[in-house]
Structure 1
């Protein structure tokens, strides 16, 4: 089994808000991966004294532990318990009802000798490659489907679509959002590789249109996760007219976890 993990901040002067982990038991019969993309808050009061990296470290650590140690739980139940555990860590000091309380997108995968379970919440991505090379994107596309006018300002987004029916959902302080995640299982024999990415890395496909998901997986398999991030950074620097990036960050935190069975 080959695994790669890389997480590069968008700005070296700012903390990386992503989280990534891979767990591989000594038996070699199973494992898990976790990728979180912390949501950068607006420069206003958000009701919490803690940073996004604090939140993603807490939530990610709980997900890493529970996905490995509690195989009796579904991944949705793992996420629900991890959200509750993280919320309890700052419930007494922070306003967890604020729409911008620290939150993150989630990718979880867990495998045994027989099957692969997956969970995706919001706009990070999980790509499953078959032995024949076919790549299936496992995505939660609700954010991509909301009306563009709903994203015009932070205030509009928070009031109308963030963690609301008809909008999109992230992992914040409400454990019930775990039931909103995209989940499923795949036979282990039908998957050759898994690639989990935050949207800072999926820009290669989704914003810069350098190839499709299969091309991205091939790039990571042949040249490594660092090569993908390096290419994204080069494309970001070259987009001086913001033809592709539009109003998005010039450079975003970029995380890739690659597992080859």
Structure 2
């Protein structure tokens, strides 16, 4: 099995708000991957004593443990329990009802001998490659379908549509959001490899148009996950003022890519 994982902050002076994990059970049967993209909080506060990396570390750790040790749970059930566990860790000290309480996008995949399960919440991405090379993009595209969403900053989007009906959803403190995730399963024989990416890495396709999802997958398989992030950084730097590719919000974003051949 070949696996690769890279997670790089957009700004070396700021902590990385992404989380990534790859785990294989002691039985040697199957495995799981977790990728989170923490939502950067506003400068005027968000009702919590803890940082977004603190939140993502705890939520990501709970997702990793629960998806491995509780195979009887569906992935939405795993996400629900992980959100509840994380919320309980700071419910007595923080205002979890604040609309910008720490939160994250989620990609969760779990594979066994016969099946590959997946779950996506918000705008991180999971790509699945079939044995014949066909690449399927498993996405939660609600954010991209919002008017002006791809050109708006987080602050503008948050004010109206985050975690609201008709908008889009992230994992925060409400376990019921797991029901909003895009979830399903594929036959194990139909999946040769997986790539999970935060939107800092999907910029290669979604912002800079270097190729489609299949091209991105091929690039990662041939050149490596680190090469993908390096290429994104080159493109970001070349268009620092966002004249050619506007609407990025941050000139450089945290970027995470996980690749696994099953």
Question: TM class, shorter-chain normalised?
Answer: over 0.9
- Cα pair distance change 1:121/1:71, threshold 3 Å: same
* Paired position in structure 2 for 1:134: 134
What are the Cα deviations for residues 171-203 of structure 1, in whole angstroms up to 9, with x where unaligned? 000000000000000000000110000000000
Cα pair 1:29 1:112 within 8 Å, conserved: yes
* Paired position in structure 2 for 1:39: 39
* Paired position in structure 1 for 2:253: 252
Q: Where in structure 2 are there 5+ consecutive unaligned residues?
A: none
Q: After TM superposition, give the deviation of residue 223 of structure 1 in Å.
A: 1.0
Cα pair 2:129 2:191 within 8 Å, conserved: yes
Structure 1 stretches of 4+ with a deviation exceeding 6 A read: none
Cα pair 2:144 2:150 within 8 Å, conserved: no
Q: Where in structure 1 are there 5+ consecutive unaligned residues?
A: none
- Cα pair distance change 1:99/1:185, threshold 3 Å: same
Q: What SS is found at the alignment partner of 1:143? A: coil
Cα pair 1:150 1:161 within 8 Å, conserved: no
Q: After TM superposition, give the deviation of residue 28 of structure 1 in Å.
A: 2.9
* Paired position in structure 2 for 1:77: 77
Cα pair 1:124 1:139 within 8 Å, conserved: yes
What are the Cα deviations for residues 101-153 of structure 1, in whole angstroms up to 9, with x where unaligned? 00000000000000000000000000000001100000000000111179756
2-side partners of 1:120 and 1:205: how far apart?
Answer: 18
Cα pair 1:150 1:157 within 8 Å, conserved: no
2-side partners of 1:130 and 1:68: how far apart?
Answer: 24
Cα pair 2:154 2:249 within 8 Å, conserved: no
* Paired position in structure 2 for 1:23: 23
Over the aligned positions, Cα root-mean-square deviation in angstroms equals 1.5
* Paired position in structure 1 for 2:58: 58
Q: Is residue 158 of structure 2 the alignment partner of residue 168 of structure 1?
A: no
- Cα pair distance change 1:12/1:2, threshold 3 Å: same
What are the Cα deviations for residues 33-52 of structure 1, in whole angstroms up to 9, with x where unaligned? 00000000111121011000
Q: After TM superposition, give the deviation of residue 212 of structure 1 in Å.
A: 0.7
